[in-house]
């Protein structure tokens, strides 16, 4: 066999090996993409609704001494983040196709416990962070003050009723100020339910919400929910509540 023929055979063999390697590498890369993007596979679509966690509007220590920095950090990065992840997992696994949060909550009674509880936890906490601020609190002014006085007689009476709702919620849950049919109401919901859910006894558009789960206060206040609630009034963002008032 001539040297030229041997060289030609070697060249063809190397090209064959190179092609095989390219095909193998391409298949491996495609497999990685398929694992990384499970909603992109044939016959499936990306869920219409995905919950997200808002950026915390202030540093973890901004609400001290009323809410301590460590509680804020754990609450935001662990508890809230877990609700967001779990609801999105449930939406994908259960093929939930609601287009927005309002529609999902309007059909909460049809959801699994995982989807409902974690959807509530994700939304409720996004809301909770926004209705607080550094150097907040005091008595409201403007239209929110007028609405409170018109519905409850005075700010002091409103504060008394809201505190009662927070203190008498047995176990874990939330206390709320809502607007419903043009009127303001106070009440509470268990666990991570909220007043937008069709299954909630208290219904309306949330204006204020207070998380009374123990994880919201236990590091600083231990079992003294009353102290936590009393100091929470010093964090209120009345401007944010007023924005939600129609």
Q: Where are the domains of the chain?
A: 68-246
Q: What is the pLDDT of residues 53-100, one digit of tens each?
A: 999 999 999 999 999 999 999 999 999 999 999 999 999 999 999 999
Instruction: Output the pLDDT for position 45.
Output: 57
pLDDT digits (tens, 9 = 90+) for 179-226: 999 899 999 999 999 999 999 999 999 999 999 999 999 999 999 999
What pLDDT score was predicted for residue 46? 55
pLDDT of residue 246: 87
Indicate if the alpha-carbon torsion angle 95, 97, 100, 104 is positive or negative: negative
Q: Choose between 20 and 229: higher pLDDT.
A: 229
The answer to whether residue 43 scores a pLDDT higher than 60 is no
Q: Categorize the per-residue pLDDT at 20 as very low, low, confident or very high, splitting at 50, 70 and 90.
A: very low
pLDDT over 50 at 25, yes or no: no
pLDDT at position 38 over 80: no
- SS3 string of 155-187? HHHHHHHHHHHHHHCCCCEEEEEEEECCEEEEE
Q: Is the pLDDT at 35 greater than 90, yes or no?
A: no
Are 125 and 52 contacting, i.e. CB atoms less than 8 angstroms apart? no
pLDDT (tens digit per residue) in 100-145: 999 999 999 999 999 999 999 999 999 999 999 999 999 999 999 9
In CATH, the architecture of 68-246 is: 3-Layer(bab) Sandwich (3.55)
- When pLDDT is averaged across residues 138-164 and rounded to a whole number, the result is 97
Q: Across residues 163-180, what is the average pLDDT?
A: 97
Report the predicted TM-score, pTM, of the whole model to 2 decimal places: 0.81
Categorize the per-residue pLDDT at 39 as very low, low, confident or very high, splitting at 50, 70 and 90.
Answer: very low
Contact 88, 48 (CB under 8 A): no
């Amino acid at each position: 066999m001539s040297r030229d023929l041997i060289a030609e055979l070697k060249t063809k063999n190397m090209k064959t090996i190179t092609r095989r390697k390219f095909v193998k590498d391409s298949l491996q890369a495609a497999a990685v993409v398929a694992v990384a993007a499970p909603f992109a596979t044939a016959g499936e679509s990306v869920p219409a609704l995905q919950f997200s966690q808002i950026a915390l509007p202030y540093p973890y220590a901004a609400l001290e001494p009323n809410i301590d920095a460590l509680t804020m950090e754990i609450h935001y990065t662990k508890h809230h983040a877990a609700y967001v992840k779990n609801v999105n997992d449930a939406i994908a696994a259960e093929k939930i196709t609601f287009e927005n949060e309002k529609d999902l909550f309007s059909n909460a009674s049809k959801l699994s416990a995982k989807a409902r509880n974690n959807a509530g936890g994700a939304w409720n906490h996004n809301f909770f962070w926004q209705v607080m601020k550094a150097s907040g609190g005091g008595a409201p002014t403007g239209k929110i003050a007028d609405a409170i006085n018109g519905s409850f007689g005075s700010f002091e009476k409103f504060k008394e009723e809201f505190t009662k709702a927070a203190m008498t919620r047995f176990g874990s849950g939330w206390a709320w100020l809502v607007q419903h049919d043009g009127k303001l109401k106070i009440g509470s919901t268990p666990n991570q339910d909220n007043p937008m859910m069709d299954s909630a006894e208290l219904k309306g558009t949330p204006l204020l919400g207070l998380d009374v789960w123990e994880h919201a206060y236990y590091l600083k206040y231990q079992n003294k929910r009353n102290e936590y609630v009393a100091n929470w009034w010093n964090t209120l963002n009345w401007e944010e509540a007023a924005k939600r008032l129609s």
